[in-house]
Structure 1
Amino acid sequence: MHTVKIGSLELGAQRPIALIAGPCVIEDYERTLRIGRGIKAITERLGMPYIFKASFDKANRSSYNSFRGPGLEEGLGMLQKIKTELGLPVLSDIHEITQVEPAAKVLDVLQIPAFLSRQTDLLFAAGKSGVAVNVKKGQFLAPNDMKNVVRKLEEAGCENILLTERGFSLGYNNLVVDMRALPIMRSFGYPVVFDATHSVQLPGGAGTASAGQREYVGHLARAAAAVGVDALFLEVHDNPEEALCDGPNMVYLDQLEELLLDIQAIDGIARKHK
């Protein structure tokens, strides 16, 4: 398996599980920084590698009037300050080719949203950026289809690739996780991430917004750790009920440490059996 380097961290090849976490979107600088600082304190206590995430723009919201974030220029400015303040590698979504160059100057990981996981030109541009690329498997893709995504990135000269499972569509407004997807995608030679919070999302389930089933995040996260993944992706908020995006599926910051302790214990067992 390829070892993916992100800042000073290395993922994959039997290394302990890492965490990618933060709020869904940048709501304001101070709150976003506070959440990141809280997660960092937890991961430092646990000795868990940590990559901060927050979106500067959520371009695929259910409604035109939904909160999207501060946008490219202002959002990247905030992420640069958070990166410097916390001393952490940073991940955020990109949606257009024109965002690749400015984003790559700040971000350590460019994330391709699930809905854009087959967009060849966007993948190729991200792959040529020189920074790591995390591609979320589309809800409409079989895990084997992600082999073609990997090849597109490799054609661009990219070898710092992460593949993220976040469930597939089953009927309307519902996602289901097929745990077979994790070893299948891992067989392509790159680290695999499990997104436990978007996997419990109910897309469009609230009409003009997505609903979610936060109560199942822990169950799925523990199951994925048992199957074997290289990183866990969680959206975390100090008060999800106040969140401006994806509140129903985000984890409470004050409940995070207990979950991560379980994840580390299960990951230690799983790695012994690989």
Structure 2
Amino acid sequence: MHTVNIGSIAVGGKNPIALIAGPCVIEGAERTLKIGRAVKEITGRLGIPYIFKASFDKANRSSYQSFRGPGLEAGLSILADIKKELGVPVLSDIHCVNQIEPAARTLDVLQIPAFLCRQTDLVYKAACTGKVINVKKGQFLAPQDMKNVVDKIREAGNERILLTERGVSFGYNNLVVDMRSLPIMRSFGYPVVFDATHSVQIPGGAGTASSGKREFIPYLTRAAVAAGVDALFMEVHDNPEEALSDGPNMIYLDKLEDLLKDVLEIDRIARKHR
């Protein structure tokens, strides 16, 4: 099992579980920093390694009219400020090849969205930066198919790989999580992440936007940690009802700490078997 170092954080092996968390999209510098600061305070109290996430551009929104974020240049500037202010690594999505180079100058982790996980040029050229690459498993892929994605990254000479489970399509507008996918993907030798919030999403469920069932986040989170994941991915917000993207499947900030306390207890047991 490869251990992936992200700044001072070691993910994988028998290292304690890490958290990747933040709002879905950058909604403005002040509010985004506020959420990140609150998560850092919580993880600091609990001793959980923390990586901040927020998207500078949501290129895969259901509707053309949906809020996408501040864009590449302004978004990376905000993320650079957050990185400096909080002193934590930062992660964001990239959607096209021309975003890779500027994003790599700021980000510690380049994330390949689930819909784009088979885009060879995007995956390979992102890997060529030497940055940590987090690939979300497509909703249309079996877990064993992610081995081909791993091989594309390794072709670039990059072993800094994270693989993220975020549910698989089950009929129309519904996702389910096959917990078998977690050990299957981990068997490739790289850390596995569970996306606890997108896994309860209902893509396109609100017509021109996605819906979701956040009440199931704690159940799936506890199950995934028991299955032995190396990190959790969670989108959090101080008031998801006001969120400009993915509000129905984001966790309330004031519910996060209690859930993470459960996570730590389960992880201590699961880590013995990783």
TM-score w.r.t. length of structure 1:
0.99
Partner of 2:58: 58
- Once the two structures are TM-superposed, the CA of residue 60 in structure 1 deviates from its matched residue by 0.1
Unaligned 5+ runs, structure 2? none
Distance of 1:72 and 1:123 partners within structure 2: 18
Distance of 2:155 and 2:245 partners within structure 1: 35
Partner of 1:223: 223
How many residue pairs get matched? 274
Distance of 1:54 and 1:136 partners within structure 2: 15
- Corresponding position: 1:245 with 2:262: no
- Once the two structures are TM-superposed, the CA of residue 213 in structure 1 deviates from its matched residue by 0.2
- Corresponding position: 1:272 with 2:249: no
Partner of 1:126: 126
Partner of 1:14: 14
Distance of 2:91 and 2:121 partners within structure 1: 20
Deviations, residues 246-271 of structure 1 (Å, cap 9, x unaligned):
00000000110000000010010111
Whichever residue aligns with residue 116 of structure 1, its letter is: L
Deviations, residues 47-78 of structure 1 (Å, cap 9, x unaligned):
00000000000000000000000000000000
Distance of 2:88 and 2:253 partners within structure 1: 18
Distance of 2:235 and 2:191 partners within structure 1: 19
TM-score w.r.t. length of structure 2:
0.99
Question: Secondary structure of 2:261's partner?
Answer: helix
- Once the two structures are TM-superposed, the CA of residue 237 in structure 1 deviates from its matched residue by 0.2
Distance of 2:124 and 2:160 partners within structure 1: 13
Whichever residue aligns with residue 84 of structure 1, its letter is: K
Cα RMSD, aligned residues only: 0.5
Question: Secondary structure of 2:171's partner?
Answer: coil
Partner of 1:171: 171
Whichever residue aligns with residue 154 of structure 2, its letter is: E
Equivalences for residues 29-108 of structure 1 within 5 A: 29-108=29-108
Distance of 1:160 and 1:49 partners within structure 2: 17
Equivalences for residues 86-235 of structure 1 within 5 A: 86-235=86-235
Distance of 1:222 and 1:189 partners within structure 2: 23
Whichever residue aligns with residue 157 of structure 2, its letter is: G
Distance of 2:273 and 2:90 partners within structure 1: 31
Moved over 3 A (4+): none
Unaligned 5+ runs, structure 1? none
